[in-house]
Amino acid sequence: MSGAFKLVVVGGVAGGASAAARARRLSETAEIVVFERGPYVSFANCGLPYHVGGVIADRRKLLVQTPRSLRARFGLDVRVSTEVVRVDREAREVVVRSRDTGGEYRERYDALVLSPGAEPVRPPVRGVDDPRVMTLRNMEDMDRVIAGVQQAEGPALIVGGGYIGLEMAEALRHRGMGVVLVERLPQVMAVADAEMVAPLHDELRRNGVDLRLNASVDAFETTADGLVARLSDGSRVACGLALLAVGVRPETRLAREAGLAIGPSGGIQVDAQMRTSDPAIWAVGDAVEVKDLVRGVPALIPLAGPANRQGRIAADAIFGRPSRYTATQGTAIVKVFGLSFAMTGASEAALQRAGLGYRRVYVHPADHATYYPGAQTISLKLLFEPVDGRILGAQAVGAAGIDKRVDVIAMALRAGLTVYDLEEAELCYAPPFGSAKDPVNLAGFVAANVLRGDVELWEPEELASLRPDQALVDVRTRAEFAAGTIPGATNVPVDELRARLGELPREKELLLFCHSGLRSYVAARLLTQRGFRARNFSGGYERYEMWSGTAARAAAVSSDDGMLEAQALP
Amino acid sequence: MSGAFKLVVVGGVAGGASAAARARRLSETAEIVVFERGPYVSFANCGLPYHVGGVIADRRKLLVQTPRSLRARFGLDVRVSTEVVRVDREAREVVVRSRDTGGEYRERYDALVLSPGAEPVRPPVRGVDDPRVMTLRNMEDMDRVIAGVQQAEGPALIVGGGYIGLEMAEALRHRGMGVVLVERLPQVMAVADAEMVAPLHDELRRNGVDLRLNASVDAFETTADGLVARLSDGSRVACGLALLAVGVRPETRLAREAGLAIGPSGGIQVDAQMRTSDPAIWAVGDAVEVKDLVRGVPALIPLAGPANRQGRIAADAIFGRPSRYTATQGTAIVKVFGLSFAMTGASEAALQRAGLGYRRVYVHPADHATYYPGAQTISLKLLFEPVDGRILGAQAVGAAGIDKRVDVIAMALRAGLTVYDLEEAELCYAPPFGSAKDPVNLAGFVAANVLRGDVELWEPEELASLRPDQALVDVRTRAEFAAGTIPGATNVPVDELRARLGELPREKELLLFCHSGLRSYVAARLLTQRGFRARNFSGGYERYEMWSGTAARAAAVSSDDGMLEAQALP
């Protein structure tokens, strides 16, 4: 084989495994060597929390491939427990070290693919090196966490409310463990907009998670009570173990030491074919910098789907094919007990940071026809370009049908479609699955109404400074109004509006709302056509409830955005 | 109000109700009158089978709106049990008849919207007028069916295996009734490709439905056993009641008698703004002819979503807005006990009839990560343009995640995207919801592999005439091979291929297959690169099993495509 083209892959999970398998499909003659630092290749890293929680009972199910199966199927030379410690670009060789024997040797390459992934951040606080303070990245971490859980007296402390933190909170509750979840921000899921994840806070608490927002860990201490975390709010939490899940950082040491270009985001810089600044070296997965599809800027967006596709594209490029990776849009989902939260594209916060103009609408439809049993509310936020209506992002939270709607919008966003296209989307409908006007259509209708000028919106931030010439009008039924409303609102049900026009102040601007924004839209059309000044509240009281707690929490904390935006991949 | 602009709407369900409500949002001053022949408006017609089955226990849940609620909310003048019997285009008046009193009167209009819907076809067989032979279109039909079920001795006979027939088979089994389902074609769901609905046949039978394919009813007779249906296969079925669900026909009588243009498909002809050949008359819903998005031809595609959007567009047009209805792509779904079948775009059969070129691939991935509990197989067929890869249609069947994948592909199809775009689709992934390579990505990969020439396919039709220089090779494991294979195949597991190359005949063309087409693709790449002639079988043994029974059934019957393609709307 000495004369054969030789591909070396560093990292045998997700992107690396994809690159190696694809490479073999493209070339039967290439020699392909995969180095993996850990003892396992191609394991199901997104499944780790579910084995901890016992949902995936059989640990072996996580081992999707083994070195032996990869040799049999793809003729790959997979060497586990073997770390690549240096890249000698001049010689086109890597220096590898056996983790078992400590012995080092060199391996020649014609093409090198780096797929080192991203490592959990360990905040530099006192006591963080205590063995009971863990992270979760691979099978070994998982085994340690499970052993820790079995020995632990007292609850688990989870630090960080991103994907891993939330999934692990659920997992450990499933195992019957007490869970304290500490999150430095006033919200979980830093990548999301605050109001859209507010229902996750309630869901966590409903399921027995002691959620501490606006708090971080100052130190870990060992006391007579065992491991104790001192929190920034002055409280102390005695815990059997702690899991750090405050985000991940691209593993770029190898690339940096080899002098490869690192992008402004801190990830390995690659071109559209995943090639680094060295023409013989490619890089894929969580360690690379990608282009953010919506914002067009370099970004770190660690996700399993993109990692797999990048591996495929790198292999294509190495074997002379024109495949290109365009950009990452950040489509992701997390299950939190009975709810799920999903998003695609940019969040409102990200658009604000980027200085990009946008409009936002909220809808709260049922996941399927309400007359069919089991319908669940979907809270869906749609962000779009204020002139041409191009879709910029979507977020949704609810108990069912979340993934479907975000996937459809993700496809539309990728295609550069507009909110008008969402109006026209022709989707599956039968009562168990959706509605004749699907939530995706509905979001399109509401957004298009705004762009066409059919209705003007008011925003909740205005509530803090209502003027005397403004009046809040709740157009829901008397019963809904009695059960709770926005402070200061008067009640005129939409179905009585025409008969009670005389009661409404013509000299005031009417700020209308209902439960979800639909009835108040009808009311706004009615009133503006009859000479009133009226604006609608997109998303209605449902959104108000999501927003109000969020606003209070945000006001209670100084604006500290030090949190790493890049959460661990699901 | 005599001077006000006056809109008259004929038909108060779906399209008609949408048109009236939208019209009010656009004009507070217009007079809006809605005539509905039946006693109910805006009822949930897609929910009727589920109330029959008891899944929707409360009948009132089907009554989404009432004349009273529509007056309160939208100021609509809704007149139920009132039939429009004639349109006087010259006078711009409709002649209406009260079904209660029989009295007739005239109503002036400035704009008229026809939303008469489609009526169930009653085949002209002897005895079809027996009151125990029913159809299901509206609340009254539903009440009759329920009363009939309560009185019936013996099973229900359902004639026709379209949406309504299948949903009613499930509903009546839920009520504990025996069900015989007679379908003239060798398959249920005439709009679908035969092999893709084969699993529905098994599912029906597993759930106690006596499915009679290739059979139709020649006559209904009353005997000592009660109602008896004589079938075309010579058998007789004694039944307590019969439900005709052989398709629907657009209700065009009013339009025809008024001299409005009728399109080649038999539906009312409209322009992109839903305007008929009379500039003061619009038509929407199941009675109109639409453009088929993929084939570009006039078609009847009765679906609830399009009907609602057309109503909205007609109202927009009447009030001077530029909204346009482009085309219908035929996205639809049906639940059949534990399975669902969904499709979008053209079927293969429809492409063949239209003489359009296409390629097809099949994939059988799990709906979510297989290591997470509850994963179910999705059988997905993707049809695409053979040169540019534009998506032409998709069909899927399975127990979970069907609606999501077809919706995503429906959005992509609408946007004119290609199979290459499906490769790149960035969709929600966490183990409970999908896989890092979603079924949509996978279908894109497989299709793109075909278009790029990475693999050549063989088709099951070739099995009938295998040549001596061809060899069928099953690359699955020994255990899978032993449990059942394609007759004539030899077994060489993919993981042993490289070691056993010497056993394979170099002079023959190798027709490879595995379970789903993935391992045999790997094998095909391996073998062709090593100088063998090899083709892959897209969809593998899963597809073979769906196809083989289907082929046998189709061969058993003369090619009779007299069945109406337009099934009743879900």
Chain A: closest CA distance from residue B554 (Å): 28
Q: Decide if A372 and B47 are in contact by the 8 Å CB cutoff.
A: yes
Give the other-Cβ count within 10 Å of A302's Cβ. Answer: 27
Q: Residue B569's pLDDT band (boundaries 50, 70, 90)?
A: very low
Q: Residue B555's pLDDT band (boundaries 50, 70, 90)?
A: low
- pLDDT at res. A554: 67
C-alpha count within 13 angstroms, C-beta hemisphere, residue B167? 27
How many whole angstroms separate alpha carbon A79 and alpha carbon A38?
A: 10
Same domain, A432 and A361: yes
Hey, of B26, B371, B497, B512, which one would you mutate to test binding to chain A, going by the most A CBs within 10 A of its CB?
B371
At B111, which amino acid appears? Answer: A
Q: Does residue B545 form part of some domain?
A: no
Chain B: closest CA distance from residue A337 (Å): 11
Contact map slice: A 223-262 vs B, CB within 8 A: none
B327 touches A at CB < 8 Å: no
Alpha helices for B183-281 (secondary structure H): 194-206, 253-257
pLDDT tops 50 at residue B567: no
Maximum Cα–Cα distance for chain A, whole Å?
92
- pLDDT at res. A567: 35
Complex ipTM over 0.85: yes
Same domain, A447 and A337: yes
Boundary (domain end) residue, out of B247, B272, B290: B247
- pLDDT at res. B563: 32
Boundary (domain end) residue, out of B318, B341, B356: B318
pTM, 2 dp: 0.96
* Catalytic residue list contains B428: no
Rounded to whole angstroms, what are the CA distances from A185 to A58, A230, A245, B375? 35, 17, 13, 35
Q: Does residue A354 form part of some domain?
A: yes
A390 touches B at CB < 8 Å: no
A351-392 tens-digit pLDDT: 999 999 999 999 999 999 999 999 999 999 999 999 999 999
Residues of chain A scoring pLDDT < 50: 1, 558-570
- pLDDT at res. B570: 36
> Using an 8 Å Cβ cutoff, are A410 and A416 in contact?
no
Q: Does residue B238 form part of some domain?
A: yes
Alpha helices for B175-252 (secondary structure H): 194-206
How many whole angstroms separate alpha carbon B163 and alpha carbon B397?
A: 14
Boundary (domain end) residue, out of B271, B289, B318: B318
Q: Decide if B498 and A75 are in contact by the 8 Å CB cutoff.
A: yes
Q: CATH number of the domain at B40, please.
A: 3.50.50.60
B59 touches A at CB < 8 Å: no
B12-45 tens-digit pLDDT: 999 999 999 999 999 999 999 999 999 999 899 9
How many whole angstroms separate alpha carbon B520 and alpha carbon B526?
A: 9
Same domain, A238 and A255: no
Rounded to whole angstroms, what are the CA distances from A568 to A82, A141, A304, B216? 24, 14, 10, 59
Secondary structure of chain B: what % helix, strand, coil (to 5)?
Answer: 30, 25, 45
Q: Which residues pair with B281 in a beta bridge?
A: B112
Same domain, B243 and B254: no
B46 touches A at CB < 8 Å: yes
Q: Does residue B548 form part of some domain?
A: no
Rounded to whole angstroms, what are the CA distances from B8 to A45, A69, A284, B84, B304? 61, 70, 62, 10, 21
Structural domains counted in chain B? 4
Same domain, B371 and B425: yes
How many whole angstroms separate alpha carbon B156 and alpha carbon B148?
A: 10
- pLDDT at res. A395: 98
Q: Residue B564's pLDDT band (boundaries 50, 70, 90)?
A: very low
| Mean pLDDT computed over B306-316 | 97
Q: Does residue B111 form part of some domain?
A: yes
A410 touches B at CB < 8 Å: yes
Partners of B342 on chain A (C-beta within 8 Å) are: 428
**3-class DSSP state of B293:** coil
Hey, of B390, B405, B411, which one would you mutate to test binding to chain A, going by the most A CBs within 10 A of its CB?
B411
Surface-to-core class of residue A388, CB atoms within 10 Å of its CB (0-12 exposed, 13-18 middle, 19+ buried): exposed
Same domain, A354 and A413: yes
Q: Decide if B433 and A14 are in contact by the 8 Å CB cutoff.
A: no
Q: Does residue B389 form part of some domain?
A: yes
A186 touches B at CB < 8 Å: no
Q: Residue B522's pLDDT band (boundaries 50, 70, 90)?
A: very high
Nearest to A436 among B308, B404, B434 (CB): B308
At B338, which amino acid appears? Answer: G
Same domain, A220 and A165: yes
Rounded to whole angstroms, what are the CA distances from A306 to A175, A288, B156, B522? 32, 11, 52, 22
Q: Decide if A529 and B329 are in contact by the 8 Å CB cutoff.
A: no
> Using an 8 Å Cβ cutoff, are A36 and A11 in contact?
yes
- pLDDT at res. A549: 79
B82-110 tens-digit pLDDT: 999 999 999 999 999 999 999 999 999 99
How many whole angstroms separate alpha carbon B230 and alpha carbon B226?
A: 13
Same domain, A214 and A153: yes
Element (H, E) at A195: helix A194-206
Residues shown for chain B: 570
Same domain, A84 and A166: no
- pLDDT at res. A556: 58
For residue B500, give its domain range.
Answer: 460-537
Partners of B526 on chain A (C-beta within 8 Å) are: 28
Hey, of B73, B428, B536, which one would you mutate to test binding to chain A, going by the most A CBs within 10 A of its CB?
B428
Integer Rg of chain B from CA: 26
Q: CATH number of the domain at B522, please.
A: 3.40.250.10
Same domain, A103 and A29: yes
* Nearest C-alpha neighbor of B250 from the set B212, B300, B175, B198: B300
Q: Does residue A45 form part of some domain?
A: yes
Same domain, B447 and B475: no
Torsions phi, psi for A230 (to 5 deg): -95, 125
Same domain, B444 and B524: no
Q: Which residues pair with B380 in a beta bridge?
A: B363, B396
**3-class DSSP state of A294:** coil
Partners of B64 on chain A (C-beta within 8 Å) are: 371
> Using an 8 Å Cβ cutoff, are A46 and A569 in contact?
yes
| Mean pLDDT computed over B229-246 | 96
Partners of B170 on chain A (C-beta within 8 Å) are: none
Nearest CA in chain B to A401: B404
Q: Decide if B495 and A441 are in contact by the 8 Å CB cutoff.
A: no
B445-501 tens-digit pLDDT: 999 999 999 999 999 999 999 999 999 999 999 999 999 999 999 999 999 999 999
What would the two tokens of residue B528 be? Answer: 């062709």
Per-residue DSSP letters for A109-161? Answer: -SEEEE---EEE-----BTTTSTTEE--SSHHHHHHHHHHHHH--S-EEEE--
Q: Does residue A34 form part of some domain?
A: yes
> Using an 8 Å Cβ cutoff, are B343 and B319 in contact?
no
